């Protein structure tokens, strides 16, 4: 807790510090220097003239976008007395729970290494390097024997951990009381109720035009769509991240989505970014990691079996293998409750100068991880751009879906929000499902962990992710999960087992996301 | 990222808290009540050693499930007496007392937030309230009191960043030598620039994950 003035100056200091090392900084400097020689720059008003030049030439906009992106990604600074772990996660028991969950993952990975007698990482022999380079664009044709590998964990295992999460300072009596939640999540986090959500998501209201809804009764939908496309083109022409973020709250026209998302995420795919991607690629070629096999296995188990995504198999390998080597991903651990696994170079155990992170990006993939990338393949065909968009989506959003934290977009809050919404709005349904042993969260958890990727039809999924980007929050996932239950409430009231309830909700590919969200948030009497 | 404070007792740059000995939080007890009830109110008393009086600039602490905080200070009153005064009344630390928000956050109370003067304070009393019965304990931790004046000016970025060299008349080379003081400041500025550039290079991402070209790893470390 800081007074606003001091918080602001801390934020400014941080943004300045971060931008100083960026390539944007050197570009600005170069532009300013080149401009010094122009005749219209006067020595008397040097500073003002240069400022004017940067404004008119569009560089100021780029700087604005960079600042906006920093503000979106990094949490607002807390008190300077707060130690770094407090920034990662303010609640001590959550930090502890995340720590022991990580330890479990490490143990599982280590025992896999020992059982299969393979190292975590080693250099590829020269001939293998060459071979891999040759088939870089068709890695999917490779059929290595991965029967011995198993995913390190699946969403199901993670849910078990979240169910057992308790605050030691909370009255967790043996007897059920008003203090116990009826759902699976037992931590007393603050989640929003419908009036608060209505206010937050006001742009999704009934009398505001939405892409993804055909209310063609009186007004032809083209009316809104054409106007919306026109505005979208204007936003793109302005190259303003903040405007783009506001715009996508009403949905992106398909033709503009790729560019608008890139603008919001501040990804421009400059030559140096392409170079960086090539560097990652050569790192993949040089070293063979155990996580590569986990990635292969995951793609084969998930995306390759998906009607929409199997065509992107090769893209997925490229992006995910490069991702695992990207040390810039480590930066997100400053604001994530997770900590990257550590190891030592072979034979140098315990020597700090030989300590390394494993994998180099610090992220161990789990069952379904590749589904975070798959939908993006519809939007970006250039691997380096696809890669950057995915990395940015991961460090802004997706990491929160598989780490234990109290953040409002963290998976624990999402689970609790889902359970609370369902319980308040459909108490009978909630009670019924609970009584037959089909706790709703057991069904919806996997949807939320994957941000619905692989469950919804692609066009619907992209409309949903539009809103994630637009509101810079994952809370919409929990709202949608509750809305799906509400939509199927009549059928669910008739089931008598978990399996039957799962069957009712097995196929979400026919659902229309936006009408469901609208009805649940705005058309239900509360 | 924070960089502001390392582990150990949190302290701002270049300042130290006043020595003081806060007592552990004592829950309010009803007279004759043997039952360990949860009254929802607790008190922390704090005295400065040897009866010394202190000027208070800032109070820093970490919350532990306290919802509202009041602070009273003992100050010299008229005629050499000592008077208790309330300098903070029911500051909300947890906006929704039944849920976690704010429950373990760090807080910093400034002099200007206080209701009365906080100079010449000889003792302080923190009155903690927690109306929600769901929490087993509540207190505040790592309590530190900072005196005024010590606070080093927080320079977040060097001033040369916001101030380019003022436009000057080109020094005429005929007749007089340039002012040595001016030359020296310019040289100093250039030196600062090179230092900054050097520091920045070290901070730049190199993107290497191997150590001397080697990334052969067998097992993960648990520590």
pLDDT digits (tens, 9 = 90+) for A59-68: 889 999 999 9
Residues B43 and B92 grouped into a single domain: yes
Residues B185 and B88 grouped into a single domain: no
Closest among A309, A366, A354 to A156, alpha carbons compared = A366
- Which of B110, B216, B222 lies nearest to residue A103, judging by beta carbons? B222
Predicted pLDDT at B191: 67
- Which of A1, A121, A123 lies nearest to residue B108, judging by beta carbons? A1
Predicted pLDDT at B186: 65
The answer for A 91-150 residues in CB contact with B (under 8 A) is: 91-92, 103, 106-107, 109-110, 113-114, 119-123
Predicted pLDDT at B36: 63
- Residue B79 clears pLDDT 50, i.e. is over it: yes
Torsions phi, psi for A464 (to 5 deg): -70, -45
The answer for A 37-76 residues in CB contact with B (under 8 A) is: 43-47, 74
* Average pLDDT, integer, range B174-193: 64
Q: Is residue B61 within a helix (H) or strand (E), and if so which, with residue range? A: strand B58-64
Predicted pLDDT at B161: 41
Residues B71 and B131 grouped into a single domain: yes
The answer for A 361-420 residues in CB contact with B (under 8 A) is: 406
Strand order in the sheet with B58-64: B106-110, B58-64, B139-146
- Which of B106, B156, B205 lies nearest to residue A79, judging by beta carbons? B106
Q: What digits encode the pLDDT tens for the residues B15-61?
A: 677 777 778 888 877 666 656 667 889 999 988 877 678 888 889 99
In a domain, residue B151? The reply is no
Residues B140 and B61 grouped into a single domain: yes
- Contact residues on chain B for A74, CB-CB shorter than 8 A: 1
Half-sphere exposure at residue A253, Cβ-oriented, CA atoms within 13 angstroms: 17
Quick check: A414 and A475 in contact, CB under 8 A? yes
Q: What digits encode the pLDDT tens for the residues B99-154?
A: 999 999 999 888 888 898 888 888 899 999 999 988 999 999 999 898 887 544 44
Predicted pLDDT at B160: 42
In a domain, residue B92? The reply is yes
- Shortest CA distance from A80: residue in chain B: B4
Predicted pLDDT at B221: 87
* Average pLDDT, integer, range A298-327: 92
- Contact residues on chain A for B6, CB-CB shorter than 8 A: 83
| Range name among A217-231, A253-267, A356-370, A435-449 with the lowest pLDDT average | A217-231
- Contact residues on chain B for A177, CB-CB shorter than 8 A: none
In a domain, residue B15? The reply is no
- Shortest CA distance from B214: residue in chain A: A345
- Residue A294 clears pLDDT 80, i.e. is over it: yes
- Residue B177 clears pLDDT 70, i.e. is over it: no
Pairs of residues, one from chain A and one from chain B, whose beta carbons lie less than 8 Å apart:
184
Burial of B119 (0-12, 13-18, 19+ CB in 10 A): middle
Q: What is the mean pLDDT of chain B?
A: 75
- Contact residues on chain B for A123, CB-CB shorter than 8 A: 214-216
Cα B141 to Cα B127: distance, rounded to the nearest angstrom: 13
- Contact residues on chain B for A16, CB-CB shorter than 8 A: 156-157, 161
A14 inside 8 A of chain B by CB: yes
- Contact residues on chain B for A341, CB-CB shorter than 8 A: 220-221
A32 inside 8 A of chain B by CB: no
* Average pLDDT, integer, range A156-173: 90
- Which of B7, B156, B200 lies nearest to residue A9, judging by beta carbons? B156
Query: In this structure, are strands B82-92 and B21-22 parallel, antiparallel, or unpaired?
Result: unpaired
Torsions phi, psi for A357 (to 5 deg): -90, 145
- Shortest CA distance from A172: residue in chain B: B134
- Shortest CA distance from A329: residue in chain B: B207
Where a domain ends, among B99, B124, B146? B146
Residue B219 and residue A103: Cβ atoms within 8 Å? no
Top-confidence residue, B2 or A505: A505
Residues 6+ apart with CB under 8 A from A247: A231, A232, A235, A260, A470
- Contact residues on chain B for A9, CB-CB shorter than 8 A: 154, 156
In a domain, residue B86? The reply is yes
Q: Predicted confidence band at B159 (pLDDT cuts at 50, 70, 90)?
A: very low
Q: What digits encode the pLDDT tens for the residues A177-186?
A: 666 788 899 9
Highest-confidence segment of A80-89, A138-147, B21-30, B86-95: B86-95
Q: Predicted confidence band at A523 (pLDDT cuts at 50, 70, 90)?
A: confident
Residues 6+ apart with CB under 8 A from B177: none
Residue B156 and residue A170: Cβ atoms within 8 Å? no
Q: Predicted confidence band at A175 (pLDDT cuts at 50, 70, 90)?
A: low
Q: Find the angle CA(A271)-CA(A277)-CA(A278) to the nearest 5 degrees.
A: 90
Cα A162 to Cα A174: distance, rounded to the nearest angstrom: 19
Predicted pLDDT at A181: 80
- Residue B11 clears pLDDT 50, i.e. is over it: no
Query: What ipTM was predicted for this assembly?
Result: 0.84
Top-confidence residue, A347 or A187: A187
Q: Predicted confidence band at A144 (pLDDT cuts at 50, 70, 90)?
A: confident
Q: Predicted confidence band at B195 (pLDDT cuts at 50, 70, 90)?
A: low
**Burial track A11-29 (b if 16+ CB lie within 10 A, e otherwise):** bebbbbebebbeebbeebe
Residue B196 belongs to domain spanning: 178-204
Residue B5 and residue A20: Cβ atoms within 8 Å? no
- Which of B108, B211, B221 lies nearest to residue A79, judging by beta carbons? B108
Q: What digits encode the pLDDT tens for the residues A402-455?
A: 999 999 999 999 999 999 999 999 999 999 999 999 999 999 999 999 999 999
**DSSP assignment string, A41-99:** --STTHHHHHHHHHHHTTHHHHHHHHHHHHHHHSPPP--TTS-HHHHH-S-HHHHHHHH
Predicted pLDDT at A338: 95
For residue A146 the two structure tokens come to: 């991965």
Residue A106 and residue B156: Cβ atoms within 8 Å? no
Residues B140 and B195 grouped into a single domain: no
Instruction: Give the residue extent of every domain in chain A.
Output: 4-82, 92-151+268-393, 194-250+403-522
- Which of B106, B113, B223 lies nearest to residue A78, judging by beta carbons? B106
Torsions phi, psi for B112 (to 5 deg): -70, -10
Q: What digits encode the pLDDT tens for the residues A61-107?
A: 999 999 999 888 887 766 677 888 888 999 999 999 999 999 999 99
Residues B98 and B52 grouped into a single domain: yes
Cα A355 to Cα A345: distance, rounded to the nearest angstrom: 7
- How much is the CA Rg of chain B, to the nearest whole Å? 27
* Average pLDDT, integer, range A476-487: 97
- Contact residues on chain A for B165, CB-CB shorter than 8 A: none
- Residue A262 clears pLDDT 60, i.e. is over it: yes
Cα B53 to Cα B18: distance, rounded to the nearest angstrom: 11
Residue A169 and residue B101: Cβ atoms within 8 Å? no
For residue A311 the two structure tokens come to: 């065509």
Q: Predicted confidence band at B81 (pLDDT cuts at 50, 70, 90)?
A: confident
A325 inside 8 A of chain B by CB: yes
In a domain, residue B57? The reply is yes
- Shortest CA distance from A330: residue in chain B: B207
* Average pLDDT, integer, range B204-209: 66
The answer for A 345-364 residues in CB contact with B (under 8 A) is: 345-346, 349, 353-358, 360
Query: B62, B219, B222, B223: best mutation site toward chain A, by most A Cβ within 10 Å?
Result: B219
Quick check: A492 and A501 in contact, CB under 8 A? yes
- Residue A197 clears pLDDT 90, i.e. is over it: yes
Q: Predicted confidence band at A15 (pLDDT cuts at 50, 70, 90)?
A: confident
Q: Using a pLDDT cut of 90, give the percent of chain B over it.
A: 26
- Which of B142, B204, B210 lies nearest to residue A21, judging by beta carbons? B204
Q: How far is B78 from chain A (nearest CA, A)?
A: 34
- Shortest CA distance from A44: residue in chain B: B167
Task: Work out the number of other CB atoms within 10 angstroms of the CB of residue B85.
Answer: 16
Where a domain ends, among B146, B167, B191? B146
For residue A264 the two structure tokens come to: 């919001």
Cα→Cα distances B14→A17, A358, A448, B11, B109, Å: 21, 37, 46, 8, 19
Q: Using a pLDDT cut of 70, give the percent of chain A over it.
A: 95
| CATH of the domain spanning A194-250+403-522, picked from 3.40.50.300, 1.10.472.80, 1.20.120.160, 1.10.1200.10 | 1.10.472.80
- Which of B2, B135, B161 lies nearest to residue A84, judging by beta carbons? B2
In a domain, residue B161? The reply is no
For residue A247 the two structure tokens come to: 């715009």
Task: Work out the number of other CB atoms within 10 angstroms of the CB of residue B45.
Answer: 15
- Contact residues on chain B for A412, CB-CB shorter than 8 A: none
Quick check: A429 and A479 in contact, CB under 8 A? no
Quick check: A413 and A487 in contact, CB under 8 A? no
Closest among A486, A401, A493 to A447, alpha carbons compared = A401
In a domain, residue B60? The reply is yes
Number of domains in chain B: 2
Residue B217 and residue A120: Cβ atoms within 8 Å? yes
Highest-confidence segment of A9-18, A240-249, B209-218: A240-249
Q: What is the mean pLDDT of chain A?
A: 90
Q: Predicted confidence band at A48 (pLDDT cuts at 50, 70, 90)?
A: confident
| Range name among A99-108, B68-77, B154-163 with the lowest pLDDT average | B154-163
A36 inside 8 A of chain B by CB: no
- Which of B108, B134, B214 lies nearest to residue A81, judging by beta carbons? B108
Query: A9, A80, A179, A196: best mutation site toward chain B, by most B Cβ within 10 Å?
Result: A80
In a domain, residue B153? The reply is no
Q: What digits encode the pLDDT tens for the residues A268-293?
A: 888 889 999 999 999 999 999 999 99
Residues B115 and B190 grouped into a single domain: no
């Amino acid at each position: 807790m800081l007074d606003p003035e001091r918080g602001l100056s801390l934020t400014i200091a941080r943004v300045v510090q971060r931008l100083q090392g960026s390539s944007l900084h050197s570009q600005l400097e170069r532009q300013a220097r080149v401009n010094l020689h122009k005749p219209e720059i006067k020595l008397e008003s040097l500073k003002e003239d240069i400022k004017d030049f940067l404004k008119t030439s569009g560089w100021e906009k780029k700087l604005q976008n960079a600042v906006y992106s920093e503000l979106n990604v990094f949490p607002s600074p807390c008190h300077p007395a707060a130690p770094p772990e407090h920034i990662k996660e303010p609640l001590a028991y959550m930090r502890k729970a995340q720590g022991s969950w990580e330890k479990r993952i490490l143990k599982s990975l280590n025992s896999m290494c020992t059982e299969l007698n393979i190292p975590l990482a080693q250099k590829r022999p020269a001939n293998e390097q060459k071979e891999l380079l040759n088939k870089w664009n068709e890695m999917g044709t490779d059929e290595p024997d991965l029967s011995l590998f198993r995913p390190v964990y699946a969403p199901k295992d993670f849910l078990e951990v979240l169910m057992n999460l308790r605050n030691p300072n909370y009255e967790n009596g043996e007897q059920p009381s008003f203090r116990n939640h009826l759902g699976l999540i037992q931590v007393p986090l603050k989640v929003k109720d419908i009036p608060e959500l209505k206010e937050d998501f006001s742009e999704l209201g009934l009398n505001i035009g939405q892409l993804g809804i055909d209310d063609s009764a009186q007004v032809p939908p083209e009316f809104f769509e054409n106007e919306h496309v026109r505005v979208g083109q204007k936003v793109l022409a302005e190259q303003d991240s903040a405007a783009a973020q506001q715009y996508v709250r009403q949905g992106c026209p398909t033709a503009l989505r790729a560019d608008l998302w890139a603008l919001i995420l501040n990804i421009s795919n400059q030559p140096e970014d392409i170079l960086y991607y090539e560097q990652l690629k050569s790192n993949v070629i040089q070293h063979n990691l155990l996580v590569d096999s986990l990635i292969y296995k995951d793609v084969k188990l998930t995306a390759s079996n998906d009607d929409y995504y199997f065509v992107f198999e090769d893209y997925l390998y490229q992006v995910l293998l490069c991702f695992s080597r990207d040390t810039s991903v480590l930066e997100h651990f400053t604001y994530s409750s997770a900590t990257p696994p550590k190891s030592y170079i072979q034979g140098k155990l315990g020597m700090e100068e030989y300590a390394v992170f494993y994998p180099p990006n610090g992220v161990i993939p789990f069952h379904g991880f590749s589904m975070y990338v798959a939908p993006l393949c519809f939007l970006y065909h250039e691997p380096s751009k696809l890669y950057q968009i995915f990395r940015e989506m991961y460090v802004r959003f997706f990491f929160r879906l598989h780490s234990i934290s109290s953040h409002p977009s963290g998976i624990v809050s999402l689970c609790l929000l889902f359970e609370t919404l369902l319980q308040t709005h459909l108490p009978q349904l909630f009670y019924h499902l609970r009584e037959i042993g089909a706790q709703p969260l057991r069904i919806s958890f996997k949807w939320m962990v994957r941000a619905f990727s692989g469950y919804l039809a692609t066009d619907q999924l992209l409309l949903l992710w539009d809103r994630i980007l637009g509101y810079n929050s994952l809370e919409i996932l929990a709202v949608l999960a509750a809305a799906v239950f509400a939509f199927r409430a009549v059928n669910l009231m008739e089931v008598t087992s978990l399996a039957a309830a799962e069957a009712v909700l097995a196929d979400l590919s026919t659902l229309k996301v936006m009408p469901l969200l609208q009805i649940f948030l705005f058309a239900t009497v509360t | 990222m924070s960089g502001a404070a390392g582990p150990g007792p949190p302290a701002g740059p270049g300042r130290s808290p006043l020595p003081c000995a806060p007592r552990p939080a004592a829950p309010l007890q009803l007279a004759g009540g043997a039952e360990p009830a949860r009254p929802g109110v607790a008190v922390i008393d704090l005295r400065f050693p040897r009866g010394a009086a202190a000027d208070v600039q800032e109070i820093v602490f970490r919350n532990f499930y306290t919802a509202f905080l009041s602070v009273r200070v003992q100050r010299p009153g008229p005629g050499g007496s000592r008077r208790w005064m309330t300098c903070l009344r029911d500051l909300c630390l947890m906006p929704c007392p039944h849920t976690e928000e704010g429950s373990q956050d760090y807080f910093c109370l400034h002099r200007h937030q206080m209701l009365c003067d906080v100079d010449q304070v000889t003792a302080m009393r923190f009155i903690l309230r927690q109306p929600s019965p769901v929490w087993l304990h509540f207190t505040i931790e790592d309590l530190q009191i900072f005196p005024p004046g010590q606070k080093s000016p927080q320079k977040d970025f060097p001033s040369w960043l916001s101030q380019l060299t003022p436009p000057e008349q080109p020094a005429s080379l005929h007749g007089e030598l340039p002012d040595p003081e001016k030359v020296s400041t310019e040289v100093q500025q250039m030196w600062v620039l090179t230092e900054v550039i050097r520091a920045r290079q070290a901070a730049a991402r190199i993107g290497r994950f191997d150590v001397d070209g080697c990334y052969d790893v067998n097992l993960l470390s648990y520590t």
